[in-house]
Amino acid sequence: MEQRALICIGCPMGCPITVTLDNGEILRVEGNSCKRGDTYARKEVTHPTRIVTSTVRLSNASAPVVSVKTAGDIPKEMIFPVMEALKAIRLSGPVRVGDIAAENICGTGVDVLVTKNVT
Amino acid sequence: MKGYDLIIIGGGPAGLSAAVAAWDAGVREILILERDQELGGILNQCIHNGFGLHTFQEELTGPEYAARFIDKVRERNIACLLDTMVLEVSPDRVVTAVNREQGVFQLRAGAVILAMGCRERPRGALNIPGHRPAGIYTAGTAQRLVNMDGWMPGKEVVILGSGDIGLIMARRMTLEGAHVRLVAELMSYSGGLKRNIVQCLEDYGIPLRLSHTVVDIHGKQRLTGVTIAQVDENNRPIPGTEEYHPCDTLLLSCGLLPENELSRAAGVTLSPATSGPVVDEALETNLEGIFACGNVLHVHDLVDYVTQESFEAGRRAAAYLQNRLPSRGRSVPVKAGEGVRYTVPSVVHPDRMDDSLTLRFRVSGVRQGAFLSVWLDGERILHQRKPVLAPAEMEQVRIRRSELEKRPDLSAITVCIEEV
Amino acid sequence: MYDILIIGAGVSGCAAARELSRLQASVCVVEAREDVCSGTSKANSGLAHAGFDAREGSLMARLNVEGSRIMESLSEELDFPYRRNGALVLCLSEEDRPGLETLLARGRANGVEGLEILSREQVLAREPHVNPGVTAALWAPSAAIICPFELNLALAENAAENGVVFRFNTRVTGFSPMEGYWQIQTDQGPLEAKCVVNAAGVYAAQLHNLVSQTKLHITPRRGDYYLLDKTAGSYVNSTIFQLPTKYGKGVLVTPTVHGNLLVGPTAIDIDDPEGTNTTREGLEEISRKVESTVTGIPFRETITSFAGLRAHEDGHEFIIQEVEDAPGFFDCAGIESPGLTAAPAIGRMVAGLIRDKLALEEKAHFQPRRKGITDPWALSPQERQALIAREPDYGQIICRCENVTAGQILEAIRRPLGARSLDGIKRRVRPGMGRCQGGFCSPKVMELLARELGIGLEQVNKCGPGSELVTGVTKEADYEGV
C-alpha cells in the first residue's frame, strides 16, 4: 500500500488530496472537494498532464508575439517538446481568440489555440 | 464642459465589468478612460490559464478572459478612450485627463468608478541593499517583456517573493529556456496560491526557500549574483546563513499596492490596511458618487472576485445615478478582529443594503482547522470551521440584511478567526 | 590637439568646460562613462549649502559662498530647478549651545548672509516634525535645494552649445609630457592638449599621481540615502541638519527640488572607487540616527535607497591649482561636499587659471543661456494645448508616476549630449524616478531609446555598455532578427 499526497491544481482552492494505491491500482482518493479533484488526482498518479500556455511569433501585426495555449491537457513529459515546436511557428496578423496556431502539436492530438485578438 | 453619466477610470477587468453592469442597469452615457493602448489591463500579460472558473465555468487564460469583457463592452457600444491618462479627479467629479489627440481636457461625471488597479512593490521599497545594476525587474515587468514584447530579461534567474506573479514567472522563464535557480520567500509561508507552487515550481524542480531573503546584490553594470540568507522570526537575516547565487536576473514578487494617487488627491479616505479607499456596502467612498472596485480597492488573487465586486460597483453607481440609492442612514463599522487583516467593506449602512452582502477579507497568518466567526456585537452569528486559512487567499462571508435589521442598536460587526 | 582637455564630465568638469567655452580655445571633455553626471555628481544631497560649515579662510569656504551666491542667477540662465528653502542646524542640548554660536560666527566670517539663531519655539513653529528636544537652531535663509543632474547637464549642454567637444566611454589611462603639451592615453586612443584639467572625482588622485611626485590621497567616502515618495515631500520645509555632538554627526533631512524627501547620508570610508552599493548597516544607521533630528519619518513611503561617493582628500580641502611639477596639468580634486554648491565658482576658478596660463581672449559670441527640456506641466494651459496640438508626443504619458510624456523622453534623447541609456533618460526627465521605479514605463522607455538610436532592444542599456537590459528574444532558435 502506498499513499501519495497531492495538491489539486484544478482550481485556486488547492485542496490537499491523498491517493491510496496498491501496486499501481488506485484504491481511494480523499480530500478533494469536487469531482475535478478526483479526476486530477487519478490522472496525476498515473499519467500526469498539463495545459501549456506560451506565445508564438507574429508578423504583420501590432504586436511581435501573441499568446497561445494547448486546447487541452498534454502529457507532462511533452511540455518541453511542445515549447520547442512553438519556436518554429510564425503567425501572420490579424489573429483572433480561438484561431488554430498549430494542429495536433507534437502528435499529442491537441491543437494550439491563439488566446488574444491582435490586429 | 462635456459630461457623462458615468466615468470609469481604468479599462482592466474591474473597469470593464463595472461598465457592463452599469450599462445593463440602464446607464447609457458611460466613458472608460484607459491609460494603455488597449483594454484588458494586466490580464493581457497574464497568458497563463486559471481565470474565469466562477464567472464562465471554464478555465481561460488572462487575454481570453479580458477579450470576453472587451466584447461585452463593444457589444454595448460603451465609449472608451485609450492612451488616455487621468491626471485628476475632483471631489465634485470633474475628471481631468490627457492624451495625444485632445491634450489636457476636463469632463464632468454624474458618478465616477475608480478602477485603476495596483502596482508592484519595487526594489527600492523593499530596501534590499547592494548595487543597482541592470537585470533587476519586478515580476510583472518581466512578464510584460516576455509575454507581450517577446524579450527575455535574462538567462539565470533568482526570484524574491513567492507571490503568484513570481511563481508564474518562474515557470514562464523556465519554459522559455532560462534557468530559475530558486524562489526565496521572506515569510515562513508562500504568498501565492498552492496550485501555483505545484504547477510552477514543483513541476520544474525549482526550490522554494521559505524564511529567506536577498541580503546583497552584486554587479555594477549587469547583475552578477545575489546573496540570500535565512531570516529569524523578526525577518532579520541570520548571520552565517548567507549563500551566494550567481545570476543575471533578479525578479521581485513582493507584493502589490493599490494605486490610489488619484483617489488620495481627490480626498478619498484610504485604509491603512488595504491602501485602498474605505468603502461601504455600495462600494461608495466617502465622496458621494465616487465608487471603487477591483485591485485599486484591495488586492485580489482571483479575477472572478474582481468581476463580482465590479459588477456590484457598476450596479450601485447606476442606482446612484438613477436616484435609486437610498441615503446612507445609520452606519455600522465592520471590524477586522483577531487573525483578520482587513475587511472590505469596512462600514455598512443597513438601510441601503441588499438582502445580503459579501464581506471580503484576508487573514493575517496561516491557520489550520481554525474557525471563521462573525460577531454582531456580543452575539456570534457565524462559526465555521476552515481546514486551511492563508493570507494569500482572500476569504469571504455573506451577511444577511435581516440580521442587521433585527438589531437597531448594533454598534459593530466583527469578523475574526477563533481557535475553538 | 586641443587647447584644453578636461577629464571627467561631472559637475566640476562641466562647470570648468562651460566657463572655458567663453574663451577662444578648443576644449574637449573626456568621460569614462556613457553620460555626463555619472559619478560622484549624480548621488548626493542636492543642496546649495549656505557656507557656514567650511573652515574660515579655506578655499572650500570661499568657493562655497561664491557658488551659493551665483546659483540662483545661474539657475535662471541655464534653466535648472532651484529653490531657496533655507536650512536649520539643530542644537539638541544646552551644553552644545557654544557649538552653535561657533557655527554662527564661522558662517558670518565666511560671508554667509542672513544667519540667525532661532529659539526652540521658533524652530518648532517652522518645522513641527523636528525632534521636540531641540533647544535652538541656526537658521540659514540662503541655503537652497537644486537638482544635481540638471545642474550638471545644463552646464554640459551649454558648454557643448558653445563649442566644447564631449567624448564619452573614454577612460584616461596615462599621460606623457611633451614639448609644451600633454599626450593623454585613453582606451580609445591618444589625445593631445596644451592643458589638462583633472576633474576625475574619486579617480583624481590616481591621475594626479601619474604626473606628480607630490602624491595626493583621496578616499571614496560612501554616503547611503533614502528617497521617499512625494507624499512625504513636505514632511520638512527647510533642510534640517544636526549640530555634531559627542555622539556623532547625525544625518540630514531635506525636501528635494522635485518634491520628494531625502534622508541621509552615512559617511563610510571604502577602498573601491565604484563601491556605490548600499548596505543594510548603512541604511539602518540612517533610520536610527535621523530620529534625533526629525522624528517619525514615514519610511514606509521609501521609493528607493542609493549610495554616492564623496572624493575625500586627506586634508579635507579643494585642490584647484596647476601641479607644480607638471606644468599645464591642473588639478580640480578633493571636490566633496560642498562641491555641488561650489561648482559654478570652481568652474570660474579653473577657467581663470587656464586663461592666464594660455593667455586666452574672450569669445565674441558666447551664448550664456540654455533652455531646459520642455516640461509641459510647467506651461500655462493654453501654451500646453498649443504644444500638444503641434507635437502630440507631449500629450502621451509614458511614466505614470511622474507624468513624463513621450515628448520629453524623445527630447532627452535628441538633444545635444542626448541620453544614451535608461539612467540617462531618468536623470534628464525622470521616468522611473517615481514610486513604481520604472515598473510600468521602463519597457516603453527602452523601446523609445531603441527606436531613436536605431539599435536593437537587446543593445539598450541601463548605464552604459555591459548593463544591457534584455538578453535576447523569446523563441530564439527559429527567430531571425526583428
C478 touches chain A (CB under 8 A): yes
Comparing alpha-carbon positions, the chain B residue that sits nearest to A77 is B203
Instruction: Tell me: pLDDT of A15 over 80.
Output: yes
Q: Does B315 score more than 80 pLDDT?
A: yes
Interface test with C, best of B47, B82, B98 (most C CBs within 10 A): B98
Q: Which fold has domain B329-420?
A: Immunoglobulin-like (2.60.40)
Q: What is the pLDDT of residues B156-184, one digit of tens each?
A: 999 999 999 999 999 999 999 999 999 99
Contact assignment for C443 to B144 by CB distance below 8 Å: yes
**What's chain B look like in SS3?**
CEEEEEEEECCCHHHHHHHHHHHHCCCCCEEEECCCCCCCHHHHHCCCEEECHHHHCCCEEHHHHHHHHHHHHHHCCCEEECCCEEEEECCCCEEEEEECCCEEEEEEEEEEEECCCEEECCHHHHCCCECCCECEEEHHHHHHHHHCCCEECCCEEEEECCCHHHHHHHHHHHHCCCEEEEEEECCCCCCCCHHHHHHHHHHHCCCEEECEEEEEEECCCECCEEEEEEECCCCCECCCCCEEEECCEEEECCCEEECCHHHHHHCCCECCCCCCECCCCCCECCCCCEEECHHHCCCCCCHHHHHHHHHHHHHHHHHHHCCCCCCCCCCEEEEECCCEEEEECCEECHHHCCCEEEEEEEECCCEEEEEEEEEECCEEEEEEEEEEECCCCCEEEEEEHHHHHCCCCCCCEEEEEECC
Domain extent listing, chain B: 1-119+256-325, 122-254, 329-420
Q: Do domains B1-119+256-325 and B122-254 have the same CATH topology?
A: yes
Do the Cβ atoms of C473 and B135 come within 8 Å?
no
All residues of chain B having their beta carbon less than 8 Å from the beta carbon of residue A39 are none
pTM listed for this prediction: 0.95
Percent of chain A with pLDDT over 90: 85
Whether chain B has a CB inside 8 Å of the CB on A12: the answer is yes
Contact pairs from chain A to chain C, CB under 8 Å: 18
> In this complex, do B63 and A67 lie within 8 Å of one another by their Cβ atoms?
yes
Which amino acid is located at B31 in the chain? L
Contact (CB<8Å) C475/A64 = no
For domain B122-254, the CATH architecture is 3-Layer(bba) Sandwich (3.50)
Amino acid at C434: G
Among B115-119, B285-289, B405-409, C119-123, which stretch is predicted with the lowest mean pLDDT? Answer: B405-409
Contact between chains at A65 and C474 (C-beta distance less than 8 A): yes
Put simply, the chain A residues between 84 and 103 with a CB less than 8 A from any chain B CB are 97
Nearest Cα of chain A lies from the Cα of B353 at a distance, in angstroms, of 29
- In this predicted structure, the answer to whether residue C57 has a pLDDT above a threshold of 80 is yes
Residues of C in contact with B133 (CB under 8 A): 462, 467
Q: With an 8 Å Cβ cutoff, is C362 touching chain A?
A: no
Residue A86's pLDDT band (cuts 50, 70, 90): very high
Which domains does chain A show, CATH number per domain? Answer: 2-46 (2.20.25), 53-114 (3.10.530.10)
Predicted confidence band at C365 (pLDDT cuts at 50, 70, 90)? very high
Query: How many angstroms away from the CA of B63 is the closest CA of chain A?
Result: 5
Which uninterrupted H or E stretch holds C340? helix C339-358
pLDDT tens, position by position, B244-294: 999 999 999 999 999 999 999 999 999 999 999 999 999 999 999 999 999
Kindly state the percentage of chain C with pLDDT values over 90. 96
Per-position DSSP letters for C265-308, written without gaps between them: ---EE-S-TT---B-HHHHHHHHHHGGGTBS---GGGEEEEEEE
pLDDT of residue B217: 97
Chain B residues inside the 8 Å CB shell of A50 = 199, 203
Going by the DSSP 8-state scheme, the letter that residue A23 receives in this structure is: T
Chain segment C148-170, per-residue pLDDT in tens: 999 999 999 999 999 999 999 99
Q: Which pLDDT score is estimated for C34?
A: 95
Please report residues of B whose CB lies closer than 8 A to that of C464: 221
For the cut 60, the answer to whether the pLDDT of residue C286 exceeds it is: yes
Cβ-defined contact of A87 to C476 (cutoff 8 Å): yes
| Domains C87-141+220-309 and C376-459 are alike in CATH topology | no
Task: Enumerate the residues of chain B whose CB falls inside 8 A of the CB of residue A7.
Answer: 194-195, 197-198
Domain ranges of chain C: 1-83+146-217+314-372, 87-141+220-309, 376-459
pLDDT above 60 (res B381): yes
Specify the pLDDT at position C481: 41
**pLDDT of C477 over the 80 cut:** no
Cell numbers linked to B404: 442587521
Yes or no: say if B282 and B105 are a contact pair by the CB < 8 Å rule.
Answer: no
- Whether pLDDT at C390 is above 50: yes
User: Are the beta carbons of C276 and B131 separated by less than 8 Å?
Assistant: yes
Q: In which element (H, E) is residue C453 found? A: helix C442-453
Nearest to C439 among B134, B141, B177 (CB): B141
The answer on pLDDT for C480 being more than 50 is no
Find chains touching chain A: ≥3 CB pairs under 8 Å. B, C
* pLDDT reported for residue C375: 97
The 10s digit of each residue's pLDDT in C115-127 is: 999 999 999 999 9
Degrees (nearest 5) of the Cα angle C89, C90, C91? Answer: 125
Which residues from B are below 8 Å from A when comparing CB atoms? 44, 47-50, 53, 59-61, 63-64, 67, 70, 146-150, 175-176, 193-195, 197-199, 203, 301-302, 387-388, 393
Q: Is the pLDDT of residue C482 over 80?
A: no
CB contact (8 A) between residue B53 and residue A76: no
End-to-end CA distance of chain B: 59
CATH class of C87-141+220-309: alpha beta
More confident residue, B419 or B127: B419
The minimum CA-CA distance between B163 and chain A, rounded to whole Å, is 14
- For residue B222, which residues of chain C lie inside 8 Å, CB to CB? 466-468
Mean pLDDT of chain A: 94
Query: Given an 8 Å threshold on Cβ–Cβ distance, is A53 in contact with B53?
Result: no
User: C477 in contact with A at a CB cutoff of 8 Å?
Assistant: yes
The CATH number assigned to the domain with range B1-119+256-325 reads 3.50.50.60
Q: What is the pLDDT of residues B36-58, one digit of tens each?
A: 999 999 999 999 999 998 999 99
Q: What are the tens digits of pLDDT across the range B134-155?
A: 999 999 999 999 999 999 999 9
Chain C neighbors of A112, CB-CB under 8 A: none
Q: Is C337 exposed, middle or buried (0-12, 13-18, 19+ CB in 10 A)?
A: buried
Q: How confident is the model at residue C366 (pLDDT cuts 50, 70, 90)?
A: very high
Q: Which of C49, C208, C258, C312 is catalytic?
A: C49
The CA distance from B94 to B217, in Å, is 46
What's the CATH code, domain C376-459? Answer: 1.10.10.1100
pLDDT above 90 covers a percentage of chain B that reads 92
- Quote the crossing angle between the two packed helices B164-175 and B139-147, to the nearest 10°: 40
Q: How far apart are CA C14 and CA C18, in angstroms?
A: 6
At the topology level, CATH places domain C1-83+146-217+314-372 in FAD/NAD(P)-binding domain (3.50.50)
A4 touches chain B (CB under 8 A): no
Residue C208 annotated as catalytic: no
Nearest to C477 among A56, A65, A87 (CB): A87
pLDDT average, residue stretch A56-81:
96
Specify the pLDDT at position C101: 96
Question: Which percentage of chain C shows pLDDT scores above 70?
Answer: 98
